[in-house]
């Protein structure tokens, strides 16, 4: 099985997540090629069994490089994909002190990525978000466990 993993990482958090995913999947006998979207032409994407897309958030949305990459990339309908984002951890409401559990309340990275991929006709098989505790990091405690759980959602037998 071959996985092409496309990310955009400004402060290195997305790179850490991508490398952990690669380490886990390689141990399962899968080839994972990790690419920064700025270093790949979206119309020259190699064939793969699965594509993983990752973006951090900027002002609550996937960063422009990833949005532009996905808008220009071409895939056959039904191509399998997965999404693994690095998003700012939800902050407590200033009035109530409660942290919103509603999806997209603060960050809309994952919902926007879903829309972009669905518009391309891709079939999403897994998704997860890893939280970043500050603009430059660090990643949340236990982030490796989230990447492990995400990796386990991906069948390696080609099904």
pLDDT at 67 > cutoff 60: yes
Could you report the per-residue pLDDT of 41-51, keeping only the tens digit for each?
999 999 999 99
Q: Cα(36)–Cα(5) distance, rounded to whole angstroms? A: 8
With residue 82 as reference, give the H or E element that holds it.
strand 80-88
Q: Cα(71)–Cα(155) distance, rounded to whole angstroms? A: 27
Q: In the structure, what pLDDT confidence band is assigned to residue 22 with cuts at 50, 70 and 90?
A: very high
> Cis omega before residue 138 (within 30°)?
yes
pLDDT at 158 > cutoff 90: no
With residue 20 as reference, give the H or E element that holds it.
helix 13-27
φ, ψ (nearest 5 deg) of residue 66: -75, -45
Beta bridge partners of 30: none
- Nearest CA among 129, 132, 134 for reference residue 146: 129
Fold of 2-152: Rossmann fold (3.40.50)
Domain boundaries, the chain: 2-152
């Amino acid at each position: 099985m071959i996985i092409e993993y496309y990310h955009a990482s400004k402060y290195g958090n997305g790179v850490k997540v991508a490398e952990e995913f690669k380490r886990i999947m390689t141990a399962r006998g899968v080839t994972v090629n990790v690419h920064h979207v700025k270093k790949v032409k979206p119309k020259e994407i190699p064939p793969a069994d699965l594509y993983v897309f990752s973006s951090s958030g900027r002002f609550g949305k996937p960063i422009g490089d990833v949005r532009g990459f996905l808008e220009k990339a071409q895939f056959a309908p039904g191509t399998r994909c997965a999404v693994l984002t690095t998003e700012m951890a939800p902050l407590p409401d200033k009035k109530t002190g409660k942290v919103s559990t509603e999806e997209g309340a603060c960050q809309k990275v994952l919902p926007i990525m879903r829309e972009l991929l669905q518009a391309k006709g891709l079939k999403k098989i897994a998704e997860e978000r890893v939280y970043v505790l500050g603009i430059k990091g660090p990643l949340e405690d236990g982030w490796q466990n989230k990447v492990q759980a995400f990796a386990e959602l991906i069948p390696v037998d080609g099904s």
